[in-house]
Amino acid sequence: MFGWIKRLFNKAEELEKTSDAKVQDEMKYLIAGLGNVGSKYIGTRHNIGFEVVDKIAMDLEGNFKTESQGDIAEVKHKGRTLILLKPSTFMNRSGKAIRYWMQKKKIKQENVLVILDDLNLDFGKIRMKGKGSDGGHNGLKDIQQMFGNNNYARLRIGIGANYSKGHQIDFVLGKWTTNEMDELFDIISKSANAARAFTSDGLKNTIANYNGKVN
């Protein structure tokens, strides 16, 4: 009799622990800023994803550590755990690092946000979407290939397309102009705020509140 009651209590404790673990997993988010590693890429348009997650870490007093396939910082925001990732796999293999850290930290795909530059948006405009095409962006192409679908949130940051024919790569990998630098802090700050809002307010509310021009 007592053995049966003990097993019942043990089972209840196991279910409670499982439930708690599930809730904790649902409160974990992976925010991946895309870019290329190396000093020559610092301050380039293609690395704005790195700059945004750097800003999130700074605002939430997190510190990056070099881990497998990327630099990682773990911070808290409104009861959520945010795993900030700067992949070290270079832009064209971004999906490899993102999938690795999703699996390692047991983060659901709907709790993943990818931050990247976008030639198809005017400079200073940000746009969050819950899914969509890769738009010709090599980082998104690799992520979609790794996921097997395009149903993941992404925050696109417009860098404009102010380049002559045949010079797209030079433009994307080029440094910000003086005029762009004057606006860059506000762009990065708003993008960081939008990323945090995604984790606490949800995708739809974040889209409604943040999509559009910074100024």
How does DSSP classify residue 95?
Answer: H
Q: For residues 17 and 39, what is the distance between their CA atoms, to the nearest angstrom?
A: 45
Q: For residues 3 and 63, what is the distance between their CA atoms, to the nearest angstrom?
A: 50
Q: How many CA atoms lie within 13 A of 50 on its CB side?
A: 22
| 23 Cβ contact partners less than 8 Å away, ≥ 6 residues apart | none
Q: How many CA atoms lie within 13 A of 25 on its CB side?
A: 15
Task: Identify the CA nearest to 159 among candidates 130, 185, 184.
Answer: 184
Parallel, antiparallel or unpaired: strands 70-77 and 153-158: unpaired
Q: Nearest 5°: phi and psi at 85?
A: -130, 130
**Two structure tokens written together for 23:** 């809730």
Task: Give, in degrees to the nearest 5, the angle at Cα 187 between 80 and 128.
Answer: 55
**Two structure tokens written together for 11:** 């089972």
Please check whether residue 120 is in contact with residue 107, taking contact to mean a CB–CB distance below 8 angstroms: no
Annotated catalytic residues are 46
